[in-house]
Homo-oligomer: A and B are copies of this chain.
């Protein structure tokens, strides 16, 4: 998988991963890897700045969890994040259809 392929679609993946559950960064990496059948195996240097960016944009909220001694920052969708997810999903559908129209012609 090329490094540039993901560009512009990572936000969609993160928002979608948090659509029906809250999770911390390391767990999100696991979710994306498993649910994608191993296609997405994101390095931490990708995931953490992206989560910060989304939180800064108001699409995610977070809190520190200290259930175990290990600190975890747990992220969840905000209302704005849910709207953004819906929009990104539509954009993905449109993009995907358009690419298939070119490639599958």
Interfacial residues, chain A to chain B (CB-CB below 8 A): 1-9, 12-13, 16-17, 19-20, 32, 35-37, 39-40, 89, 91-92, 94-103, 105
A38 nearest CB neighbor, chain B only:
B98
Sample of 6 further A-B pairs with CB below 8 A, known A1-B94, A35-B105, A36-B99: A5-B91, A12-B99, A16-B105, A39-B97, A92-B99, A96-B96
Which of B6, B36, B89, B95 touches A39 (beta carbons < 8 Å)? B95
Would you give the shortest CB distance from A78 to chain B, in whole angstroms?
A: 19
With most chain B CB atoms within 10 A of its CB, the pick from A13, A20, A36, A102 is: A102
How far is B32's CA from A68's CA once the two chains are assembled, in angstroms?
53
A98→B8 contact, CB < 8 A: no
Chain B residues positioned under 8 Å from A97 (CB to CB): 37, 39
Chain B residues positioned under 8 Å from A98 (CB to CB): 36-37, 39-40
